[in-house]
Each structure stands twice: as structure tokens, then as C-alpha cells.
Amino acid sequence: MPNHESESRKEESWSPDVQLPSLEGIRDASLRIRKHQIVTPLVRSELLSNAFGADVWLKNETVSPVASFKLRGALTALLRSKERGLLTGAVSSSTGNHGQGVAYAARLLDVPCTIFLPEKANPVKRAMIEALGASVHEVGRDVDEAKDEAMTFCDKHEYVFVDDGENVDVIEGAGTVGLEVAESLNSVDYLVVPMGAATFVSGCGAAMKTLQPKAKVVAVQAKGSAALHDSFHAGRPIARDVDTIAEGLTTRIPPTHALTAMLKFVDDAWLTDDEAMLSSVRTLMECAHVLVEPAGAATTAAAWKRRAELVGKRVVLVLSGANIAPKHLQAAISSPPTFSLGELSSE
């Protein structure tokens, strides 16, 4: 449960000295990764726009070599590490998508890669990491315990640790998504971004708030993993246990770097639940013809719950990834849709 004694933001009481992402750094990242990561589609959804009573656009990050946005940050970090003469190998911890990004980037740069996943990891994501040539270790009950093992391994081998949460290069690489939205679509009212470690939303926020300062940048996390949501609203780190099917939205211990950037560049944080995400997976298949994992459907699910405040607004929902486990795909197909297409046609 949220810590209700600190619902108001208290940024002045917690302000670590970390390097924040910048528009210049995000543009540099965009130039570095462009050879390997296309500008992803940003498409208006007619059916979602009708349902929401808003101008709804989908930023589709499933169109990537690893079917998620994670290649952007991983590749930026490793390319910059290589430029600094530090890159002999890559290590990271992940629930899956970040690990795929690091593995793909390491293969591009021809360096060894080792990824630490929590136990019982998404089998689709694990298989892809291994297919990309990385060594995989499953350790610990969650990504934070896997991270402890990964950092020990990294120190022993003197490789580069690609930290999803404490690395400004990763944040700026992820922020290229926000840059693409801000530069291609005018007058955005809401940019809604899924949140695991806050790397993605803080990078997108840095780009969007610099180029379109009137836009509201909103993070969405799972109710069963609300550490960053609760930390944002309290203005300080708050750890929370993890219990959600959306592994892409999980963090037990808030990373200092990403949370600091989030407090600077993000306007609000919302929660959604597993059932709503599964319904939105189905709805996005039916209405947008896009397959996403539960984390990728989180923005649609959370925005639907808040749709009254979005009426008449231009809203961009970021679909972060498509690496859905088979059991979750089956559950999504069996779930009721977020809204009925029949109801839309009868209005």
C-alpha cells in the first residue's frame, strides 16, 4: 500500500547530485543509434480516439530488432563506452527486455555479454537473449537480487555494467522515443509512458518537456509493483514488493538516478492492474492490430481509467514492447476488452 503519510511531493528533502539527461545528449544518442534503430511508427488510432473522445496516437516501440524500446538505451551506453575505451564486455540485470537490448548491442560491437535474470523469467525474453549470443544466469526472486549478482560478476571480469536506472547514457538513449514524438507531432497534451525503473519515462520527459513544455508527461506502473509510483508522489525513494504479471514494470528498489530525473521531468504517475492490462492487450490487438505484452498495454489501461480528463486532448500512448509470454497471451485473448466495439458502432 502507498505510504499515505507522505502523499505530497517533497523534492527539497531528497535531491541527489546526479547527471540529468539533456536534449543535447538525447539528440546525440539518436544520431548514434539511427543505423540500427529506425524511427518507430507514430500512428493515430481512429477506434481508440472514438472510444476516448480524444485524439489518440500510438507510439509503437514493438518495431525494433528486440521488439521493445530497450535497444535504444543499451546501444547508446555501449557505443559511448567504446568511445571512452572502456568496452571489453557487457553485463546487465533485467527482467528480459533490457537484457535483449544489451545482448543485441554487445553482438553488434563484438564483445562478450552476460545477462542476469530473476528466477522464472519470461521464457520468450530468455530465449531471445540466448539467441543473441549472451550467457544467461537466473538468480534471485526479482531483478534487484539479480542485479546484486550481476554487479559482482561484472567487477570480477572488469566489464561494463549497463545499468537500467543508474546510467544517464541509458536514460538518454531511451529518451530518443520522446524526441521522436516531440519532433513529429505538434501540440501534444499528454505523453503516457510505461514505467519499470523510470529510465524510459525520465528520458522521454527530458525531451518532451524541453521541446513541448506544455505537454504533460505521465508514467504508468503496475499496482503490484508501485515503488517508483509511490516514490514519485512522495518525492523520495520508497521500496515496494513485486507481485504483477507485467515484468517490464517491476522495480522493488527505486534507482536514484532515474528517480531524480523523473522528479525533474515527469508531471504525474498513474497505476494500473493486471486485469486491465490483459484487457488492453486484447483491445490493442483488435483496435490497433498491434500485439503487446502487459507492460506495453499499461498506458492504454491506465489512460482508459482516467479518460474523463483526457476528453478533447491530444494523447500519445507509448506501446513499449511485444515480448509476451504465451500464458499471458492466452489470458489476454480470454479477457473482456477494455471497451466494446459494438458500443462504438452504435453511438
Contacts of 327 (CB under 8 A, 6+ apart): none
pLDDT attached to residue 341: 82
Q: Are residues 214 and 307 in the same domain?
A: yes
CATH number at residue 55: 3.40.50.1100
What is the extent of the structural domain holding 315? 21-68+169-337
The mean pLDDT of the chain is 94
Q: Three-class SS string for 129-183?
A: HHHCCCEEEECCCCHHHHHHHHHHHHHHHCCEECCCCCCHHHHHHHCHHHHHHHH
Q: Give per-residue pLDDT as tens, 169-195.
A: 999 999 999 999 999 999 999 999 999
* pLDDT tens string 40-83: 999 999 999 999 999 999 999 999 999 999 999 999 999 999 99
Q: What is the mean pLDDT of residues 259-287?
A: 98
pLDDT digits (tens, 9 = 90+) for 222-243: 999 999 999 999 999 999 999 9
Q: What is the pLDDT of residues 95-152, one digit of tens each?
A: 999 999 999 999 999 999 999 999 999 999 999 999 999 999 999 999 999 999 999 9
- Convert the pLDDT of each residue in 289-345 to its tens digit: 999 999 999 999 999 999 999 999 999 999 999 999 999 999 999 999 999 887 665
Write the CA distances from 293 to 93, 187, 217, 344, integer angstroms. 20, 29, 22, 25
Q: Are 35 and 111 in a shared domain?
A: no
Inside any domain, residue 50? yes
Q: Indicate whether 129 and 193 sit together in one domain.
A: no
Lowest mean pLDDT among 11-15, 45-49, 131-135, 213-217: 11-15
Geometric angle at alpha carbon 165, from 116 and 79, rounded to 5°: 80
> Does 185 lie in the same domain as 148?
no
Helix ranges (DSSP H) in 66-142: 70-83, 97-108, 123-131
Predicted TM-score of the model (pTM): 0.94
Q: Which residue has cell 474523463?
A: 308
Mind listing the pLDDT tens digit for each residue in 243-253? Answer: 999 999 999 99
Rounded CA gap, 282 and 337, in Å? 6
How many separate domains does the chain show? 2
Q: Are 164 and 94 in contact, with CB atoms under 8 Å apart?
A: yes
Residue 44 within a domain: yes
Quick one: 90 and 31 in the same domain?
no
Q: What's the pLDDT band for 347 if we cut at 50, 70, 90?
A: very low
Find where cell 539528440 sits.
27
Instruction: Kindly state whether residue 14 falls inside one of the protein's structural domains.
Output: no
Which of 168, 194, 227 is a domain's end point? 168
Structural domain includes residue 5: no
Task: Using the 3D structure, point to which of 168, 201, 232 is the last residue of a domain.
Answer: 168
Q: Which of 146, 168, 190 is the last residue of a domain?
A: 168
Residue 330 lies inside a defined structural domain of this protein: yes
Statement to judge: residues 231 and 163 lie in one domain: no
pLDDT band of residue 1 (cuts 50, 70, 90) is very low
Please compute the mean of the pLDDT values over residues 246-266 and round it to a whole number: 97
